[in-house]
Structures are given as structure tokens and as C-alpha cells.
């Protein structure tokens, strides 16, 4: 399943867990899963084809997404831990939900799922899309929780500032490298 494989959202969740723990990372987790579920609902209804048919919109989305990913990668890489995050929190619900719209993996998964699981003869497109989005949220939550918990588990090994700093630089660099998927 796409939600358990490495990607920009799971890197963000791992960093959230490592820097803030599972409880403070839950808004980020909920934002990732519901944001992607909402995307899984809208893309099959035609939003995906609208974006893909308009080169200017697609290019703006690609470069805007790359800029956002670079900014987020910088914030993660320069974080020295819980104290350096605003109010001691990682990326929140809204930021994580909106992030799905600039995440290339989210677009790929949404478009692939729509093409694979939706059928003209299976009933209302709205109902099919709602089922697809809802099923994604239900399946993605435990998968993404693993990444958040992994980060929180790693947190125990990152007891020194130097180790946490190195981990954050690595997570930021991995997220920045994912930009190659957008602009290539």
C-alpha cells in the first residue's frame, strides 16, 4: 500500500515523531491521512484531469510544491529539537493536509487509484469517490502511524543534541531530494 512506503509525507511524520513524540505528532498524522483522503475523493471527480490538461496550472503546482518542500526540508533540517519548534509542535493538521496537494506521491497515488478502482458501471462517481477517499483514510491511518511511532522510537536514541541535529539534517535532506520527483 502506498501509505506505508517511504515518501515526503512519511518523512515529515518521522521527523514529527522524533522531535515531538506521538501525541504531539497526531495532528500531523490526521492532516496527512484526511488531506490525502480528501484528495482521493476530489481527483477522481475530475480535478486531476483539469490540472493535468492545463500546463500552466501543472507547472505552477510543480514549482510551488518544490518551493514548499524546500521550505519544509529547511525547517526540519535546521530544527534542533522540541525547543526550536513553534510552541513545541511539528507540522500541524492544516499544514499536513495542504501538503498532500503539493506532494507528487499523493497525486500519483490518487490518479492511479482512480484509474484502477473506479468503474463507469459501478454507480455514482461521487459515491465511488467517497468510498475511495474513506477507505484510504482508514487504511492509511495505521500505516502512517507506524512512521510517526518510528520517529518517536528513534527519539529515544537521539538523546544528545548532536544526534538529533544529525537526524533532522538527514530527514530534511531526504525531503529535499524528493523534489526531483516534482521538477523532473
- The number of distinct structural domains making up the chain is 1
Residue 96's Cβ-count burial label (10 Å; 0-12, 13-18, 19+) is buried
Residues 94/31, Cβ–Cβ less than 8 Å: yes
3-class secondary-structure state, position 23:
helix
Residue 116's Cβ-count burial label (10 Å; 0-12, 13-18, 19+) is exposed
CA separation for the pair 182, 99 (Å, rounded): 13
Ramachandran quadrant class, 54 (left: phi over 0; alpha: psi -120 to 50; beta: rest): beta
Specify the pLDDT at position 77: 79
Domain carrying residue 80: 2-183
Residue 169's Cβ-count burial label (10 Å; 0-12, 13-18, 19+) is middle
Count CB-CB contacts under 10 A for residue 65. Answer: 23
Which residues in 43-149 belong to E strands, given as ranges?
Answer: none
Residues with Cβ within 8 Å of 49's Cβ and at least 6 positions away in sequence, in order, are none
Q: Give the CA dihedral 171, 73, 90, 143, nearest 10 degrees.
A: -50
What pLDDT tens digit does each residue of the chain (184 aa) get? 556 667 788 888 988 998 888 999 999 999 999 999 999 898 887 765 666 566 776 677 667 767 777 877 787 778 765 444 444 467 899 999 998 888 777 877 787 777 777 666 777 778 888 888 998 999 999 999 999 999 899 877 877 778 878 877 887 888 788 777 656 6
Specify the pLDDT at position 2: 59
Would you report the helix, strand and coil content of the chain in percent, each value rounded to 5? Answer: 85, 0, 15
Amino acid at each position: 500500500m502506498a501509505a506505508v512506503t517511504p515518501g515526503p509525507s512519511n518523512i515529515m511524520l518521522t521527523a514529527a515523531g522524533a522531535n515531538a513524540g506521538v501525541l504531539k505528532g497526531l495532528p500531523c498524522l490526521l492532516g496527512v491521512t484526511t488531506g490525502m483522503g480528501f484528495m482521493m475523493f476530489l481527483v477522481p471527480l475530475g480535478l486531476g484531469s483539469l490540472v493535468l490538461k492545463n500546463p500552466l496550472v501543472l507547472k505552477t503546482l510543480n514549482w510551488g510544491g518544490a518551493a514548499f518542500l524546500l521550505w519544509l526540508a529547511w525547517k526540519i533540517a535546521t530544527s534542533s529539537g522540541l525547543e526550536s519548534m513553534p510552541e513545541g509542535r511539528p507540522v500541524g493538521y492544516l499544514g499536513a493536509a495542504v501538503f498532500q496537494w503539493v506532494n507528487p506521491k499523493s497525486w500519483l497515488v490518487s490518479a492511479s487509484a482512480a484509474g484502477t478502482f473506479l468503474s463507469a458501471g459501478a454507480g455514482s462517481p461521487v459515491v465511488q469517490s467517497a468510498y475511495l477517499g474513506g477507505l484510504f483514510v482508514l487504511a492509511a491511518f495505521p500505516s502512517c502511524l507506524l512512521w510517526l511511532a518510528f520517529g518517536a522510537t528513534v527519539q529515544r536514541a537521539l538523546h544528545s543534541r548532536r544526534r538529533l541535529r544529525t537526524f533532522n539534517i538527514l530527514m530534511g535532506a531526504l525531503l529535499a531530494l524528493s523534489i526531483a520527483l516534482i521538477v523532473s
